Structure 1
Amino acid sequence: LNAELGCYGDKAYILGLPAGGGRLPASEETVQKKLHFTQMNGREVFKCAVISMCNCSEEVLAQAGLGIDKVDFLVPHQANQRIIDACAKRLGLPLERVLINLSSYGNTSAATIPLVMEEAFREGKIKNGHQLLLTASGTGFTWGAMLMRWYDYKLKKE
């Protein structure tokens, strides 16, 4: 029904690899300072993920002229439970309307949303005509959301 994508190019300082490659080649000093290991400001990454996932979700709903009450399920990227909980709370959805399988599979990167959707469909949670709000944030501080209506192609049109 609608989609929104983007990235925060100015957030690179929050998560990165300070040394390596041509920018800051390996040296005795960079190795001693452990600059070849990922460095992350976890609090800022969390904040950025929640804000971006919620803002783009709200934008997708606004563009479709719909409120959160018209969404049957929120389908978030399964990065971690705290991010999922914060997004659901900020969007005003109870956890019963959020598809979560994080405890079964962990963060499976780009596969989290398709996996949780397939599992929910197989379990009979997602039904024909349900409106789903998919939202994610990922590498490079990219983010996106999509509002879609579930259609079971195996059912005949009436």
Structure 2
Amino acid sequence: MKVQRVYAYAPDGAQRSLVAAGVGSVPAGFPSPSQDYSATQIDLQKLLIRDEVSTFIVRVSGDSMEGAGIYDGDELIVDRSIEPRDGHVVIAIVDGEMTVKRLRVTPNGVILQAENATYPDVQVAELSELMIWGVATRCLHHL
């Protein structure tokens, strides 16, 4: 899965306001007739963005991460201030090529793991240049 495009979340320090009128929780099964409409608001900015300055929106292409729920054309919210750890979905740059994979740190080295059985894991060679650009925190999936 490749990174198709990177967008700054708040370019030039511009304020972003993401507030949605809430309806409480919506059942995915049978609706409850006793559930009342809730007039509360949900601040999507607080819910989705931890650090505005370090947050970017990344559009991805390809299907190598479908097992993680990331599909072709989805946008990832990526926080560059998070320290990458084993198991994180990361934006990695390997030898100048940007990709989305699950980070695996093993005694034998770093592996960038695809979440689709048709793609092999990428064992990062000792002499390869690897930079973890950021950690994906959310996937904005199109329905």
* TM-score higher than 0.5: no
State the TM-score bracket (shorter-chain normalisation). Answer: under 0.3
Bigger proportion of residues as strand: 2
Bigger proportion of residues as helix: 1
